[in-house]
Amino acid sequence: MKKILILNTGGTISMSEDHTTGKVSPTENNPISIGEGIFSHIAHIYMENLYNLPSPHITEFEMFELKQRIMQAIDEGYEGVVITHGTDTLEETAYYLELTLDVEIPVVITGAMRSSNEIGADGLANLRSSLVVAVSDESSDKGVLVVMNDEAHTATYVTKTHTTNVATFQTPTFGPIGLVSKNEVIYFQKLLKEEHYEVNSVSKKIYLLKAYAGMGGELIDAIRNLGADGLVIEALGAGNLPPKTVPAIKQLLDDNIPVVFVSRAFNGVTQDVYDYVGGGKRFCQDGVIFTTGLSGQKARIKLLVLLEANIDKCKLEELF
């Protein structure tokens, strides 16, 4: 059997519900730890409580430390790593690891939508599915995977789509790349493009804004005054903004601060189509970077990683 490391970082999967008040909170003893024994028929399992944090408490610093711990695990002879994580920021941690790890062993991230003592708790089921994926030889070339609800998704495109549903993690347009049965994972797709960058620091300040009707440049100016290293905007449609934002965007670009556009629409890609004040065509001509298929939170992580990796700013457009 393979040697698998489970790294617990916290989240609902490690919490319990107070049946009197209905409050869900971390517990002193991680309830997921029983998986170390009941799933021993799947692999030689070793469990480590790296953090006990709700996912809104996870920052780029914890993501970086998690990446470092996985690299150490490879040196220790582990043949796969499973990470338990809160679901609110799970996709961001997963994508950070996808961009910063260039490893052959399977790296799987999972979580839960229901705490351990709720009816229909999904934590142990998701952990079992993740272990099945982690021990599969077919998982070694699939990049970082998010496994929830018996589905395997790529870290690059998966997103949380529902606040409470156990089937919340979906990949818009493409769907999951694999399905998990009782004892195997069956893959139907493969991520065609993988990219990895060497990151050894956590220092850049990257901000994310969402566009809205009548938006002005005040928030953009404030971000520039905070010493931003980059800005991602969930723009309107295929990549447009209200006209009052234009001077503030131009000032960022003049200061050599990269600005990246994604669409606030759920599906589709950004394109420099419209030629009017605030239109994507003019923003593109000014130097705004347009993405293909990334959400705002994913584009923020990618810009963060590229700048931490000291990628030349003239190459950013190509890499997005």
Annotated binding site for substrate: 55, 87-88
Query: d(Cα 25, Cα 27) in Å, to the nearest integer?
Result: 6
Residue 260: CA count within 13 A, CB half-sphere = 32
CA 303 to chain centre: 13
Residue 87 has a CB neighbour count (10 Å cut-off) of: 21
CA 161 to chain centre: 13
CB–CB of 278/249 below 8 Å? no
Q: Angle at CA 46, nearest 5°, toward 40 and 50? A: 140
Catalytic residue among 12, 84, 100, 154: 12
Instruction: Please tell me the chain's helix, strand, coil percentages from 3-state DSSP, rounded to the nearest 5.
Output: 30, 20, 45
Measured N-to-C along each axis, helices 218-225 and 246-254 cross at an angle, to the nearest 10 degrees, of 20
CB–CB of 293/274 below 8 Å? no
Query: d(Cα 182, Cα 133) in Å, to the nearest integer?
Result: 11
Catalytic residue among 21, 59, 84, 87: 87
Residue 87 annotated among the catalytic residues of the structure? yes
CB–CB of 102/40 below 8 Å? no
Q: Strand locations in 211-253, DSSP E?
A: 230-235
Give the residue carrying structure tokens 């295929």.
238
Residues recognised as catalytic:
12, 87
